[in-house]
Structure 1
């Protein structure tokens, strides 16, 4: 895929591209790091998940049988959805070490080739990615709000201060993004280890006092919950699923730490701590008389602690949700970068916030858009309970799509027989589909928000991919072969000293900037390089496979730089790695020529007019190639051209 955003381009010749990322450090050290970065989202769910199951719309009776049923449902949901589906199965489906919906789609596309169902796989992956943006807006809002609401348990008179404090914290969170997380990131793991240890300790205290809650390990109680309550139990699934929100993020973040360390973190520490806390909340509620339980269930998490420890617990919870929100925002930056590289989004300004970690990036437009959306959410919904109505549908939608893609993976990549794959996929589809269906009942209460955000994002992503494909096709139709141009131009233009690099979106034909330059200026540099940057369907390309050079004669060269979709496209750095192509590149004697296209109305438009207008708007507001390719600002010349699509 080229940086001209070509979702259908093939990887460079030469077969598979090796993974150049790698993970430094021991497995134990990486596992500790994962606790701080990856598990924040699912790790802060105990603040509201159990509460919402009883205090939400399902209106479940608070008694021993129902508490056992809910806790059993949470336990088995975590085992099936997170531990089995994601951590055990999907983490095996890595694309050169990377996970997530887009990485999975790239993996499937590479193996399926031009299959007639390939377009559907791509659309499913893009829609799952689109839903992530709605999730990344709701997660900071509900997490920070639920933590700050703990102040009302300490002192009910602080209730009017909850929203102002939450808004201040959230604004600070987004303002800090431009500084990067390298310095404060070192604190994430110790703080989250303290957080998970606290979760376990609070839960164990109640379990020791009321060990009968361990009956909930038996799936019988989850089944009886549905047998006795039917539709009410089905609605409760919409709140129970809050306990497993963040499961898709575990898969997306796999590339940062690796499959082994993340599995060690999950099974060895995070999952036991979470389950102990949920069982502890259930034990406390089940032991109380109905009237008292009805009050305690409004804030069971903070009431696990004795009164003198509640304020420190609120502070710790606030810091933990701050870290969890940071991880989600970083995830939004990462997935946006992937979408740009894979051809579903226009170039955006990217800033690298770490000199050593390539994955630490900051995208201003995404950051400020998320901040505005989060502030609107907090002011509109006012409480974490109200936000819970909006939360879950995006996550369950993405999980259901991942299950469908998992079926394609089994048959298309792992070559399972369909009679082996079908029962596994159907089993997970029943579970995930039931959670998604239960969340659909939340649509009137706020579930519409992530769906609207997802639909807007999906429209933008697919419009950009379609528009760029049409634009490339139109440009290819009128392209002049470079070999013919080189022979005809060598005697018709004056040659001047230096090197001219013409950026081209395709590896064939003459870029429009070169044609305009010779037409208007009637000069050619001594060395003319037509350079294309290609993005592979793999996250990393090794440095020794970065460059591809073709000498066309008469001082003309065709050059290609290959990158993975997780790598930075730094053209000056890539040129330094070129040892051929007529000598080294001296940036002080090299000029870069870029083409900037302007769209014109077409008599036969390739897509609806409203989508053409959206595409034209995205094209106008895209970051320049100069910024995206890290070109020296004083060595760039832009030449415009007009294109009909």
Structure 2
């Protein structure tokens, strides 16, 4: 899952403002930062993954071999899906150091002749599914940690379901409420807290492996294969729950630009992977011992909250508090990841402009998006109140993540074939095994769509409709605006032959189509009948890479004495600052500091005979009207802006 690191203001564990600065921080500091940000989601899976998987397996009774089968599935899911697919393979498919589904989309587009079509659709689907994950993760993780209060000795009557919900909602609302202030001061604790969390996971697991050392047999893959082969449809339901073990794996690639490939791999192999495996083994051994004790006493085996009940009574409350802190950190990573993904989607043309606020003066990764923040909060609150328990919510979790993983595999295939030039047999040999595993997990989770899997699918479908409408609408508008457009060089030649009155200074006309005369310029000529001494036709180009070298930021091409073309380039992880970058151009843009900016603000109305269906026209018009003001988005002082526009029927 794509994330924008909340540790961006920590000098020791921060995300760099742009590529090439990772070397400024030590490997140890970056590794600590990665542990606190990258692995928060997958690191909280032990709270519920084994409980849910074993609960599915125990629906028709349970024997020892079935517990070993579930354990083997979980261990090999971590090995194959996370270690081999993400850590070893996909972390090589970076876009100038950046990863994640949209960075992979941009990399795939750079290797294909067309930027639309199937590749764009795959990226849009992956991004849409992420938002479903972003709503579920805070609800599930925080609720699963707070539910540990019910396991405290003598606290069952005190912490009722209603009180557990109330505590969880207070934590979640507070988490979203502080986003506008930034997370710089708290982010310094993320890495150390998560290190303590993973060490605690390993210690708990190590203590309980002694309950039944036979659990180590789960490393043999035939236990996993045999379980799936012998359990039919039930095996698929268990697979769907087992997938909870690897949720959060997308963050490994999404955060490469913040921490680098080496620190993330070091954190995984040195701490996170061993801690997770040992903890799951401990839970499995504890369950095996409980099963044997139940048989010896003639009692029925009951599935339970294995994570919290295996903690000694004296340590249970501190572990509940530590688990809650870990889930808050995991939720924070998902929230900032939603901001980062939205920013990338806007720059790639998949979504309309939204208000973006910098919460740090020194780091571009520290952003806050009010609309996304409050929409996520509404979704989280509705989901928490609707499902009311982490077990009920777990069924909804896997579909969004498995869907994103399938998309990632497909985009990786395009990168291998088109960008890296691999042969068809070699590309298929690498991708098909991973894709087959992802499809099996996706199919297993689809079986649980009625139990709650419809939630992320509904959210993803809604986002996909918005993306599709916005992309389609922009293409229609571009075609309409091109009809009857006057080539800029022709207009410059006409004005050179028939000069108008001239006013001193520089005028900057922002346009997406620099080859044509901007409508704002035509309106200015029509109504004011004057021309500035210097006229700059400027366009902002978002590159198919995360960052742009400052030396390549601005290029200016002169047309004649009064007209020039300017192209400002930004990576899809950067926020445009048009005026400052023009000023930095020096003699290339004379008078940029006092320039007037002319911006086109067109309006649209629906016409049944052309364009999209009525409902889609209405949606596009609403998205356009509520898009962020270009003056704010491009960081242009309002007192330097003149807005002119026209109305189009779409």
Indicate the TM-score class for this superposition, using the shorter chain for normalisation. over 0.9
TM superposition outliers: structure 1 runs of 4+ over 4 Å: 290-296
Offset at residue 497 of structure 1 (A): 2.1
Q: How big is each residue's C-alpha offset from its partner over 1:510-538, in whole Å with a ceiling of 9 and x where there is no partner?
A: 11111111211222222211111100111
| Residue of structure 2 equivalent to 1:444 | 450
| Residue of structure 2 equivalent to 1:80 | 80
Taking a change above 3 Å as real, the CA distance of residues 54 and 603 of structure 1, as seen in their structure-2 partners, is: closer
The alignment status of 1:519 with 2:526, answered yes or no, reads: yes
Q: How big is each residue's C-alpha offset from its partner over 1:404-454, in whole Å with a ceiling of 9 and x where there is no partner?
A: 222222222222222222233221222111110010111111100100110
Offset at residue 56 of structure 1 (A): 4.1
Deviates more, 1:175-184 or 1:128-137: 175-184
User: Is 1:63–1:290's contact at 8 Å kept on the other side of the alignment?
Assistant: no
Secondary structure at the residue paired with 1:34? helix
The alignment status of 1:595 with 2:600, answered yes or no, reads: yes
CA distance in 2, matches of 1:404, 1:644: 38
Secondary structure at the residue paired with 2:489? helix
Offset at residue 314 of structure 1 (A): 0.5
Secondary structure at the residue paired with 2:588? coil
Deviates more, 1:62-71 or 1:378-387: 62-71
| Residue of structure 1 equivalent to 2:501 | 494
Offset at residue 54 of structure 1 (A): 2.1
CA distance in 2, matches of 1:267, 1:207: 20
Taking a change above 3 Å as real, the CA distance of residues 602 and 21 of structure 1, as seen in their structure-2 partners, is: farther
Among 212, 220, 239, the residue aligned to 1:218: 220
CA distance in 2, matches of 1:406, 1:496: 54
Deviates more, 1:203-212 or 1:402-411: 402-411
Offset at residue 110 of structure 1 (A): 0.6
CA distance in 2, matches of 1:256, 1:229: 43
CA distance in 2, matches of 1:500, 1:394: 48
| Residue of structure 2 equivalent to 1:190 | 192
Q: How big is each residue's C-alpha offset from its partner over 1:226-262, in whole Å with a ceiling of 9 and x where there is no partner?
A: 2332221121001000010011122212211111111
User: Is 2:290–2:301's contact at 8 Å kept on the other side of the alignment?
Assistant: no
CA distance in 2, matches of 1:521, 1:529: 18
| Residue of structure 2 equivalent to 1:297 | 303
| Residue of structure 2 equivalent to 1:94 | 94
User: Is 1:540–1:567's contact at 8 Å kept on the other side of the alignment?
Assistant: yes
Offset at residue 288 of structure 1 (A): 1.2
| Residue of structure 2 equivalent to 1:427 | 433
Secondary structure at the residue paired with 1:559? strand
Among 470, 473, 497, the residue aligned to 1:464: 470
Offset at residue 466 of structure 1 (A): 1.5
Q: How does 1:364-379 map to 2 (within 5 A)?
A: 364-379=370-385
| Residue of structure 2 equivalent to 1:130 | 128
| Residue of structure 1 equivalent to 2:25 | 25
Q: How does 1:238-637 map to 2 (within 5 A)?
A: 238-289=240-291, 297-489=303-495, 491-581=498-588, 583-586=590-593, 589-602=594-607, 604-637=609-642
User: Is 1:42–1:243's contact at 8 Å kept on the other side of the alignment?
Assistant: yes
Q: How big is each residue's C-alpha offset from its partner over 1:268-288, in whole Å with a ceiling of 9 and x where there is no partner?
A: 111110111111100000011
| Residue of structure 2 equivalent to 1:140 | 138
CA distance in 1, matches of 2:58, 2:442: 16
Secondary structure at the residue paired with 1:162? helix
Taking a change above 3 Å as real, the CA distance of residues 429 and 294 of structure 1, as seen in their structure-2 partners, is: farther
Q: How big is each residue's C-alpha offset from its partner over 1:379-417, in whole Å with a ceiling of 9 and x where there is no partner?
A: 100000010111100001111121222222222222222
Q: Which TM-score applies when normalising by structure 1? A: 0.94
CA distance in 1, matches of 2:364, 2:434: 35
Offset at residue 64 of structure 1 (A): 1.7
Secondary structure at the residue paired with 2:503? strand
Offset at residue 608 of structure 1 (A): 2.6
Unmatched runs of 5 consecutive residues or more in structure 2: 1-17
Offset at residue 604 of structure 1 (A): 4.4
Taking a change above 3 Å as real, the CA distance of residues 124 and 150 of structure 1, as seen in their structure-2 partners, is: same
Deviates more, 1:606-615 or 1:291-300: 291-300
Number of corresponding residues:
623
Offset at residue 639 of structure 1 (A): 1.1
Secondary structure at the residue paired with 1:230? helix
User: Is 1:207–1:280's contact at 8 Å kept on the other side of the alignment?
Assistant: yes
Secondary structure at the residue paired with 1:289? helix
Offset at residue 579 of structure 1 (A): 2.3
What is the RMSD computed on CA atoms of the aligned residues?
1.7
Offset at residue 98 of structure 1 (A): 0.8
CA distance in 2, matches of 1:195, 1:523: 67
Q: How big is each residue's C-alpha offset from its partner over 1:302-339, in whole Å with a ceiling of 9 and x where there is no partner?
A: 11210011000000000100000000001000000000
Q: How big is each residue's C-alpha offset from its partner over 1:497-517, in whole Å with a ceiling of 9 and x where there is no partner?
A: 222111111221111111111
Deviates more, 1:272-281 or 1:571-580: 571-580
Deviates more, 1:57-66 or 1:154-163: 57-66
CA distance in 2, matches of 1:190, 1:112: 43
| Residue of structure 1 equivalent to 2:208 | 206
Q: How big is each residue's C-alpha offset from its partner over 1:50-101, in whole Å with a ceiling of 9 and x where there is no partner?
A: 0011224872533321111101000001111111111111110001111111
CA distance in 1, matches of 2:60, 2:254: 34
User: Is 2:57–2:234's contact at 8 Å kept on the other side of the alignment?
Assistant: no
CA distance in 2, matches of 1:603, 1:217: 63
Offset at residue 112 of structure 1 (A): 1.6
